[in-house]
Structure 1
Amino acid sequence: MSTKVEKALELHDKGYNCAQAVACSFCEEFGVDQETMFKISEGFGFGMGMMDMCGAVTGMMMVIGMDNSIGNLENGKATKADTYKKTKEFAEKFRQKNGTYYCRDLKGVSGKGNVVPCSQCITDAVELTEMYLESVK
């Protein structure tokens, strides 16, 4: 288990939602303070509060966006398509591993697939995020 996974699971145990746990475990890499990331990602937990896209996956997408975007405020389209491509690729990797990326399915509410605990979703999302970051070095 990587130290990032350990950190994310510790944050989740402290009450951070899945998106917060994943995104906040990568704050140092991007010079973002944890409180700011905590606030930004709060609405993404519990499948954006609607048991939709898994919070761990959206936390992963936030980190990919932080890494891939050039932050060109004058040309918002500069890296958008490439970022979408990368987030789609890694969301698909998560889906392949867990059967879905929807919170309601992962939690067994929809009656589809196997129940996957939040701790496993967080672990998988952090590991995929690490894989992404390693691939772009």
Structure 2
Amino acid sequence: MTARERANELAAAGNNCCQSVLLAFAEELNLPYEDARQLAAAFGCGVCCGNVCGAITGSAMALGYKFEGDPDKAWDALDVVMKGFLERQGSLLCKDILGYNIAEGDNYQRALDNEDFLYKCRPAILDAAELLDQVMKSL
């Protein structure tokens, strides 16, 4: 199963964007699944305020864990992921990907009602997982 497929299954199971990406790489990183799930729990929806997409945050966590002790290597790898993500999604920000700020008013409910987590966020999750996988395999 590819990283993209794993991330898709994880998102379909109810994990947020950050969890879905980080958990897709947990086994490869020898990162305990439950620890990774809990660590990433509060980073969905752009840290719950529409900022940097949680799929990018999950990518950063995975790279930081992989290159612990070599932040320059992690940052360089993350830069490649972010550039590819920006090219595909048009923004790194949750509020731009969704088209509104999830933290304002009833926008969380709006996202649920409109299935935006499926139709807008899921492609971002899959793109991040695929890009992260490509970068990790190239290093």
With the length of structure 1 as denominator, give the TM-score of the two structures: 0.82
Number of residue equivalences: 123
Is contact 1:64-1:132 (8 Å) kept? no
**Does 2:46 match 1:55?**
no
Kindly state the Cα deviation for residue 85 of structure 1 after the two structures are TM-superposed: 2.8
Percent of pairs identical after alignment? Answer: 29
With the length of structure 2 as denominator, give the TM-score of the two structures: 0.81
**Does 2:117 match 1:126?**
no
Q: Report what 1:41 is aligned to.
A: 40
Q: Report what 1:7 is aligned to.
A: 6
- One-letter amino acid of the structure 2 residue matched with residue 47 of structure 1: G
Kindly state the Cα deviation for residue 93 of structure 1 after the two structures are TM-superposed: 1.6
Is contact 1:64-1:83 (8 Å) kept? yes
- One-letter amino acid of the structure 1 residue matched with residue 74 of structure 2: T
Which structure features the higher share of helix residues?
2
Is contact 2:4-2:129 (8 Å) kept? yes
Q: What secondary structure, in the 3-state scheme, does the structure 1 residue paired with 2:40 have?
A: helix
Unaligned 5+ runs, structure 1: 71-78
Is contact 2:21-2:55 (8 Å) kept? yes
